[in-house]
Each structure stands twice: as C-alpha cells, then as structure tokens.
Amino acid sequence: MTLRRRDLIRNSAALTGLALAAPSLLGKAAHAAGDAIEVGVLFSQTGGLSIIEKSLADATLMAIDEINQAGGVAGRPINPLVEDGASDPKTYNEKVSKLILRDRVPTVFGSYTSASRKAVLPVVERRKNLYFYPTYYEGFECSRNVVYTGAVPNQQLSNYIPWIINTLGKKKFFIVGSNYIYPKEMAKVSKILIEQNGGEWIADEYLELGHSEWGAMVKKIRDSGCDVVLSNVVGDSVVAFYREFRNQGLTHDALPICATVTSEIEIAAMGPEFAAGSFTSFPYFQAIDTDANQSFVDRYRRFVNDPNAVTHHALESSYFQVYLWKQAVEAAAGTDPADIAAAVRGQSFDAPNGRVTVDQENLHTYLTPRIAQWGSDGQGEIVDEYAAPVRPLPYVAYGETSENLFCSATGLDTNKL
C-alpha cells in the first residue's frame, strides 16, 4: 500500500515519540543494515510562509514515499521526522537543533527563505551535519554542509535582465522586495546586470515580510516613471502586491512585473487574472512539456489528493534532491553526513525540469534557466529557455566564473572577494 502524506506524518510522530523514550536505540540501532534511516523534514506548516512551504514538505514526503515503495535506500526504508518551522527563523534554529542533537538524523531537508537557512546553518556546520536546501537564493554562500538545489543568480538573473532589456525593450527598473536578505542580495545582483546591459534602476524599495498593505508602494511605482517592475516580493505578500497593482489600474502589458519569486502557487492563491501578462524566471515551470514532467505533476496531485494542485520550482527541487541524497547514501555505503556530502558531489538525476547535477566543487546544482509569461489559466508559457544546464556560480555578482571559482571543494577563497 502506498503511504500518503498523512500516513508519513503520523509515522514520523510515532518515531519521534520513540526517540524521546529511548534515544540510544534510534541513535545507533537505526544505522544497522536493514533498519530505517531517519531524516529531518523541516518546513513551515503554519504562518505566512506556509502558503509555499507546505508544498515543499509534500514534495519531500512524496519522494520518500516513492523511494520506499521502490525498495528504499540500499534496502533500508526512510522514516521522515516532520517538524514545523512556523515561518520563524528562531523556530527553525530550535527545530534543526532537535533533529540533529536529539533525533540524531544524518540529514535534514528543509527551509524556504534565506532567513530560515541562515538560522539553521550555524547548527548544521557546528555539528557537521548535512542540510539539503531546495530554494532559489541569492548566492554568496559556500558551505561544505549544505547541498543547494535551487537556482542561484546566474541561473535566474543573468538570463533575465538582458532579456527584459533587449526583448521587452524595458530599461527603467523599479526594484521592490520583502525586507530581508534574499530580496536585498538579488537587488544587488540585478543592479549590476541592469547597468551592464544599458538599463537603469530608479528605485529599490522594501516592505516587511508578510506585509499586506501595498497601496502606498504601488502608488510610488505608478508615479516613478519606471517601465518595468522587478519583484523580489516573497510569501503571501505576493498576493497582496499583485492584487493592489491591478486595483490601481496598472497593467502588465504597459508596465509588466518581472518576478524572481512569483510561481504557480502564488498565482493560484491570488487568482490568475491578477498575474496574466507578467513574467517569472525559474529553471522549472509546471508548463514544461515533457512526459516526465506530466507524470510528475500527475503523481504529485494524487499524492496530495488534489486534482488542481500546482507544482513549482522550489517544490520540484524539494522532490529531486531526495533522490540525489539517496544516490549519495548508496554511493557512500553509509549514513555518515561527511561521507554523504563527499558522495553527492557529481551526482546527476533526470528531474522533471531535465538533467540536474551537483557541482563537484561548490555543492550547488546545474540547472536550465527559463523565463515564462503567465496566462489567464494560471500557467506559464515558456518564452525563453537555455539549451543546456548552466553551472551554478554563487558569487557571480562579485566576478566568479567557471574558470575562476571563488567557492570550491576546499572552501571559500576570501582573497577573491
């Protein structure tokens, strides 16, 4: 019988109770041949970011379910211990500490925002554990304890900014974002690319994460003289922003929002009519027209028991990174985090978005850049697509190239910054 999301969560709760009662049993016995491998699944089930993060947890549990149904990892089933980050970095820090120190998991899959990733990073690195992070992010990070499977700026912006200027003919950018590290770092990269490609940025503005009153900001955009909006707005603020944009009479044909965050799930939440005509840059869209992706979408909808559920980039990365981990555990012939981290370098997998590979040097992932325009059906039409996956360069804004890596297997070369 195939386990569903509720079964996996119920089973993980039972295992957590066992860990509290007899931690020594799960600390060592779980590593014996044939016994289950416990992993942490740490996403927000509550709070403002749950609009996205519930789906990342679901995709992770779906991959675990599929792997277990196919015989597990070298014959061992995976038992997920599910924790709620509650859309709060402090809670993330507490929960990852529990998973690593009390539950003694060798790997945690989790986080959506950079704020939550930064909150877990000190614990993961200090305890020499392993963290798989599925979200597109701003780069400027080099850790031997994190596998990054979402896009970095050269896979999301290096294609996007020139396309906006040269194809759309838009050159005056109003940059807007949520007030934390990811939007601010993405703005920094964008400004460099805008200037390099002959455009100009006329504003760089922020509202707090979760902010829902966008009237004054949209008026500022309307009065600014810009001809394109570059949006790094995150979470449920995206819904409020796009709705207010239309409420003030702005249209995407005259003044398009070009986003780095807005995905199928936010568009489903806001209503597709509010995003129709706008753009997003991601390596994955539900609209990718392949048999492999259609099968993935169908399986996901069955798993969550929702025929209208949508897939999106961070969800897809949450899914395929579990398979990369599985391959690494089997290659390492064990669950020591350091051995898994060494074995995951160079691992490849045929994901729904295409072939993905973990870079041998920086533990980021080769991905294929794409741009889509949103339609009235809530789906993106892919209007630009690279022919092959692009090497991840987390420090591209600071001059990193494939021939001159700042982040390598030996660590970060700070002299190059």
Q: Is residue 399 one of the residues assigned to a domain?
A: no
Q: 217 and 100, same structural domain?
A: no
Q: Which domain holds residue 201?
A: 154-283+371-393
Q: Is residue 145 one of the residues assigned to a domain?
A: yes
Predicted pLDDT at 55: 96
> pLDDT for 105-143, tens place per residue?
999 999 999 899 999 999 999 999 999 999 999 999 999
Q: 93 and 173, same structural domain?
A: no
Q: Is residue 405 one of the residues assigned to a domain?
A: no
Predicted pLDDT at 34: 62
Range of weakest confidence among 19-28, 214-223, 317-326 = 19-28
Predicted pLDDT at 359: 98
Q: 31 and 80, same structural domain?
A: yes
Q: Is residue 376 one of the residues assigned to a domain?
A: yes
Q: Is residue 336 one of the residues assigned to a domain?
A: yes
Q: 93 and 50, same structural domain?
A: yes
Over residues 342-369, the mean pLDDT reads 98
Predicted pLDDT at 33: 43
Q: Is residue 415 one of the residues assigned to a domain?
A: no
Q: 378 and 353, same structural domain?
A: no
Q: 382 and 258, same structural domain?
A: yes
Reading the block at residue 369, the tokens are 């850049």
Q: 79 and 37, same structural domain?
A: yes
Whole-number average pLDDT of the chain: 92
Q: Look up the CATH number of the domain holding residue 57.
A: 3.40.50.2300
Range of weakest confidence among 6-20, 94-108, 296-310, 361-375 = 6-20
Predicted pLDDT at 237: 93
Q: 145 and 165, same structural domain?
A: no
Q: 259 and 389, same structural domain?
A: yes
Over residues 289-310, the mean pLDDT reads 97
Q: 279 and 305, same structural domain?
A: no
Q: Is residue 401 one of the residues assigned to a domain?
A: no
Predicted pLDDT at 6: 44
> pLDDT for 381-417, tens place per residue?
999 999 999 999 999 988 999 999 999 999 999 999 8
Q: Is residue 413 one of the residues assigned to a domain?
A: no
Q: 379 and 256, same structural domain?
A: yes
Whole-number percent of the chain with pLDDT over 70: 92
| Counted domains in the chain | 2
Q: 308 and 277, same structural domain?
A: no
> pLDDT for 183-194, tens place per residue?
999 999 999 999
145 pLDDT tier (thresholds 50, 70, 90): very high
